[in-house]
Amino acid sequence: MTETALTPNRPQDRILVGIDTPDPERATRLSRELTGLVGGIKLGLEFFNANGPDGVRRVVRAGPAETPRGQPPAQQRLFLDLKFHDIPNTVAGAVRSVMDLGPTILNVHASGGAAMMKAAREAADFQADALGVVRPMLIAVTVLTSLDDDDLAAVGQQGPAEDQVVRLARLTQDCGLDGVVCSAREIAAIRAACGPDFKLIVPGIRPAGSAMGDQKRAVTPRQALDAGADFLVIGRPIAAAADPAAAARAIAQELAA
């Protein structure tokens, strides 16, 4: 099975909302408010370690409170951002274990190596077949954007960081994964190396005029799309907005323009 679940048919399908909270009520409320308005939500280590798989299930099932009679509640799409990094056997097991949460996107660290990434892909294929579902998009983290060239050298990785990003993106592709998480300024180099079908998921997005927070080199949603991003990870500009649904709609409009 090679097809994955997330095809961006509408501009808003490219938006993945980072919900960075340990609070299940807040996450559930946001998920419900945003169902249908965005491509999905991203839950990561903070939420998962506080609430576990059952917490994740509750949040993704939190479709609109009112659904037409006889319709199942809408299900929010899930990017499960747990960044697996361990020996191949353990990562394969971790992938199988989270598959019944129905993630649309799953990720691993590319620096875990080729055997680990191939094991993740095989485990996702196997478990998707076993469950009769479309396999999740499998992506890798290359170099954490919190690391600079000196940090890389200190852990024995050869910089400059952009070269290491491209090296790991190629390896990710060779291992049969679908794409990588990258910053907007890495898009061009990865596209040149990995071609048009490799999925690029880009955080560090700020709508024009919004607070930068701790993002130092943010780009606007439109700039990220024009640069070649496939999906945009947007956290606080939507999740911390007074009206998250309105914020999501405004960004979708910017993407459609």
For residue 47, CA distances in Å to 43, 63, 136, 191, 221 come to: 6, 19, 20, 32, 25
Q: Which helix (H) or strand (E) holds 182?
A: none
CA pair distance 96, 94, nearest whole angstrom: 5
Q: Min. distance of Cβ 151 from ligand C5P in angstroms? A: 13
Q: Is 209 left (phi over 0), alpha (psi -120 to 50) or beta?
A: left
Identified catalytic residue from 42, 83, 118, 199: 83
Residue nearest ligand C5P, CB atom distance: 235
Rounded distance between C-alpha atoms, residue 195 and residue 190, angstroms: 8
Distance of CA 170 to the CA centre of its chain: 19
Closest CB 130 distance from ligand C5P, rounded Å: 30
Cβ proximity to ligand C5P, 75 vs 215, nearer residue: 215
Q: Cβ closer to ligand C5P: 134 or 240? A: 240
CA dihedral sign of residues 117, 230, 58, 144: positive
**Which residues are at the interface with ligand C5P (CB under 6 A)?**
18, 20, 42, 44, 145, 181, 183, 203-204, 213, 215, 233-237
Q: Which is nearer to ligand C5P, 88 or 236 (CB)?
A: 236
Closest approach of ligand C5P to the CB of residue 48, in Å: 12
Three-state DSSP state, 71: coil
Instruction: Compute the 3-state secondary structure of the chain and give helix, strand, coil in percent, each to the nearest 5.
Output: 45, 15, 35
What are the helix (H) ranges across 70-219? 88-98, 114-131, 149-154, 161-174, 187-194
83 is catalytic: yes
- C-beta of 81 vs 178, nearer to ligand C5P: 81
The backbone torsions φ and ψ at residue 16, rounded to the nearest 5 degrees and listed phi first, read -115, 120
The nearer residue to ligand C5P, 18 or 102, going by C-beta atoms, is 18
Question: In the bound complex, what is the minimum distance in angstroms from residue 19's beta carbon to ligand C5P?
Answer: 8
Least distance to ligand C5P from the beta carbon of 114, Å? 22
How many CB atoms neighbour CB 215 within 10 A?
Answer: 17
Catalytic residues, by residue number, are 83
